Amino acid sequence: MGKKRKRGFAFLGVCIVLAGFLYYRYMARADRSWEKIEESRTLYVVTDYCSFDYTLTDGRPSGFNYELVKMFADRYGLGLDITIESDLNASIEGLNSGKYDVLLRNIPVTAETRSQMHLSVPVMKNRLVLVQRGKSKGEKQKPVRYLPDLEGKEIYILSGSPYSMVLEHINEETGLDLKVVPYTSNDAEMLNAMVARGQIDYAACDILTARVSEYFYPQLDTKTVLGNVQYVAWGVSRHKGLDEKINAYLDSIKAEPVFMELQRKYYK
């Protein structure tokens, strides 16, 4: 047998072993109970990269949701295995398959999101607002306050954002023709910065993110509401017992001063 052929068989053997190992790990994680999570001492988390969910500050992890889940993990002696994924649909697929234990984002609690994934108890309240430039000395146009004035206007929103359904419902319920433009990015703050710089006129954003953008860009106006108040939650795997632990933790931590401190820290 030639050397090339031997090397080919050796490479194939390594691939088979590796595939078997990965399959074993996948099956082990797909059928994890809370007891198995504790035994593994690891919580698998998928999130996006932004200042509210997960980011790096001076080389250290930070973020409102990150700090919350870190306190949960510390309470039970778990380490965090964090995957950054900007595609929300890919994150949901990984959550539902058992690849991840927690989808760490501010997911609006709606009938549609409930049908897509298992959700935790609400973490806090949120709502969708219009991000636009306020009237300044150099601008004659006043900020839009009524939905009919947005007829035919382009409103940018992050591609795959769970809040895009709010704009769709507005079009359906009012008969308006709001031009919803998906923007391929996972950074709502960057989208709001584009409004501030005059690159685009309007963006739709949750009020928590909008307030932070308004702090950094005082020329922004975020007073126009686009949707009703909604609760936001985390996506949680259906592993037996995991949701009970997370829900009990969230219900208790929301009554503690540290929760309000985190809100002030990240949402000004």
What distance in Å separates the CA atoms of residue 192 and residue 212, rounded to the nearest whole number?
Answer: 10
3-state helix, strand, coil in the chain (%, to 5): 45, 25, 30
Say how many C-beta atoms besides its own lie within 10 A of residue 91's C-beta: 25
pLDDT at position 110: 85
Query: Is residue 162 within 8 Å of 108, Cβ to Cβ?
Result: yes
The pLDDT of residue 266 is above 60: yes
41-65 pLDDT per residue, tens = 999 999 988 878 898 888 899 999 9
The residue ranking higher by pLDDT, 112 or 198, is 198
pLDDT at position 9: 52
pLDDT at position 28: 46
What distance in Å separates the CA atoms of residue 114 and residue 108, rounded to the nearest whole number?
Answer: 9
Q: Which of 254, 258, 263, 6 is nearest to 123 (CA)?
A: 254
How many CA atoms within 13 Å lie on the side-chain side of 240?
A: 5
Q: Which of 141, 143, 149 is nearest to 224 (CA)?
A: 143
Mean of the per-residue pLDDT values for the chain?
Answer: 86
> CB within 8 A of 53, min separation 6: which ones?
47, 63, 64, 65, 66, 104, 105, 106
| pTM across the whole model | 0.77
The residue ranking higher by pLDDT, 267 or 213, is 213
Quickly list DSSP for 149-184.
GGTT-EEEEETT-TTHHHHHHHHHHH----EEEEES
> CB within 8 A of 265, min separation 6: which ones?
64
* Mean pLDDT in residue range 106-117: 90
What distance in Å separates the CA atoms of residue 208 and residue 123, rounded to the nearest whole number?
Answer: 13
Quote the tokens at residue 182.
């998906």
> CB within 8 A of 149, min separation 6: which ones?
none
59-85 pLDDT per residue, tens = 899 999 999 999 999 999 999 999 999
b/e map 182-199, b = 16+ CB within 10 Å: ebeebbbbebbbbbbeee
Query: Residue 254 carries which side chain, given as an amino acid letter?
Result: K
Going along the chain from its start, the domains and CATH numbers come out as 9-125+232-267 (3.40.190.10), 128-228 (3.40.190.10)
Quickly list DSSP for 193-229.
HHHHTTS-S-EEEEHHHHHHHHHH-TTEEEEEE-S--
pLDDT band at 13 (very low <50, low <70, confident <90, very high): low
The pLDDT of residue 7 is above 90: no
22-33 pLDDT per residue, tens = 444 444 455 689
